[in-house]
Amino acid sequence: MGPPGSGKGTVSARITKTFGLKHLSSGDILRANINAKTELGLLMKSCIDQGQLVPDDVMSRLILSDLRALDQSSWLLDGFPRTVSQADALDKAYSVDTVINLNVPFQTIKQRLTSRWTHLPSGRVYNVDFNPPKVPGLDDVTGEPLVQRDDDTPETVTRRLKAYETQTEPVLEYYRSKGVLQSFSGTETNKIWPHIEAFLHTHTVCVGKQ
């Protein structure tokens, strides 16, 4: 768990590689539906473009369907649950062993996201602060123009963070009360990661059906 732009994708990839878990990203599932222009995908795109969260029942249906397909594998969820309602839906189907929260300051995230530019055809992402293109505004490989995605503009980032604060912060309390929440604070993923890795090495990372 963590705000948009907190490094969930990067940390998830490292956890998956180090501990051999199956990784389900709500963002990947959303993008797949949006790219396929499914009915749900079009609805989701409208929500995301406005900086809003996708409806709970839609997200829960999508994620739980994908989890059932994994059968008995241990897994890592990234970007879900984002509301207490989604957490309840997950809790009814599975027992969650560990919840990792990336506690990154909002100011750091605003700087990080609004500095992000994308080459849409390939999905390559640049950051003008720490991973800039060789030629400003152009993709390194094709030389085609880069764009700032709708959800990376300053106005939308502010709305996304506000939505996170009001709807997702209660989920942290939900898991804190269950005794499974572990928070890691910092502004750089590379500095947060060693602490997460050490923590997980001391825990049996396993999720089983109730």
Active-site residue among 116, 134, 178, 209? 116
Active-site residue among 160, 162, 176, 209? 160
Any binding-site annotation on 134?
Answer: no
Any binding-site annotation on 52?
Answer: yes
Residue 149 designated active-site: yes
Quote the CA–CA distance of 97 and 191 in Å, as a whole number.
24
Any binding-site annotation on 112?
Answer: no
Any binding-site annotation on 160?
Answer: yes
Any binding-site annotation on 159?
Answer: no
Any binding-site annotation on 6?
Answer: yes
Any binding-site annotation on 186?
Answer: no
Q: Are 68 and 43 in contact (CB under 8 A)?
A: no
Residue 121 token pair: 């055809």
Q: Are strands 116-119 and 75-78 parallel, antiparallel or unpaired?
A: unpaired
Helix 189-201 to helix 8-19 angle (10° resolution) is 40
Active-site residue among 14, 124, 149, 159? 149
Any binding-site annotation on 54?
Answer: yes
Any binding-site annotation on 26?
Answer: yes
Any binding-site annotation on 20?
Answer: no
CA–chain centroid gap for 90, Å, is 16
Cα Rg of the chain, angstroms: 17
Active-site residue among 17, 37, 45, 82? 82
Residue 116 designated active-site: yes
Is the backbone peptide bond immediately before 81 cis, with ω within 30 degrees of 0?
A: yes
The DSSP annotation for 91-147 comes to HHHB----EEEEE--HHHHHHHHHTEEEETTTTEEEETTTB--SSTTB-TTT-PBPB
CA–chain centroid gap for 110, Å, is 15
Any binding-site annotation on 5?
Answer: yes
Annotated binding site for AMP: 26, 31, 52-54, 79-82, 86, 149, 160
Annotated binding site for GTP: 5-10, 116, 125-126, 189
Annotated binding site: 5-10, 26, 31, 52-54, 79-82, 86, 116, 125-126, 149, 160, 189
Write out the catalytic residue numbers. Answer: 8, 82, 116, 149, 160
